[in-house]
Structure 1
Amino acid sequence: MTKRERSRYVNKTDRKNPHERISHVGGANPDGTPWKRSIDQAIRDIENNEWEFYVEENGRRVDVVWATHDGYKYIKTAADDIHPNNLLLLAECP
């Protein structure tokens, strides 16, 4: 069964390219314990239908999907076209 988790945090690299900036995504389990995934692991989890991730802003949920840019896989929110702005605005993972 696919797990569905809200992404609340990201870790960013120092790269300027938005498709390469996020290195990890994270959030909190229902019991309050934190979870954190590397982008490579998150993409595998999405591809294998093991996890679904989403962000929520002002009560609006938007799914996190993976995409490819110049042969590089990255994650973004479904509503953002090519720019993963919603994810880049999240706080840093603890």
Structure 2
Amino acid sequence: MAIRITCINKDNGYHENPNVAITHLGWVEEQTGEKGKSTMLEIYNWIKEKNGKAYVKDGSGDKVKVITAETSNGTKYLKTVADNTVRNNLLALPEC
């Protein structure tokens, strides 16, 4: 099962890495139509531990894979694989 991340929520604090500000992600499983909203850590663990697949659609409608990452301090977060744009595809999503 793969989910498309459709929106995000962020906290309002200062973050050296803006991706760690993401607290929740809205998603849809396009084959079944199931929709949900999960915490960043729930999606992180689903990808990392259960081999879950997630993606966003970029400005051209292409799928861009969402992957797990950690800061040098060990803070877990999500980001997209680099593509041919400098735009941050995950942070560019609308608020849920």
Provide the TM-score with structure 2 as the length reference: 0.79
- Point out where structure 1 has 5 or more consecutive residues left out of the alignment: none
Provide the TM-score with structure 1 as the length reference: 0.80
Q: Corresponding residue for 1:52?
A: 53
Q: Secondary structure at the match of 1:41?
A: helix
Q: Corresponding residue for 2:69?
A: 67
Post-superposition offset of 1:71: 1.2
Q: Corresponding residue for 1:89?
A: 92
Provide the alpha-carbon RMSD of the alignment.
2.2
Q: Secondary structure at the match of 2:56?
A: strand
- Point out where structure 2 has 5 or more consecutive residues left out of the alignment: none
Q: Secondary structure at the match of 2:37?
A: strand
The structure carrying a bigger strand percent of its residues is 1
Aligned residues: 89
Q: Secondary structure at the match of 2:55?
A: strand
Cα distance between partner residues in 2 of 1:33 and 1:4: 11
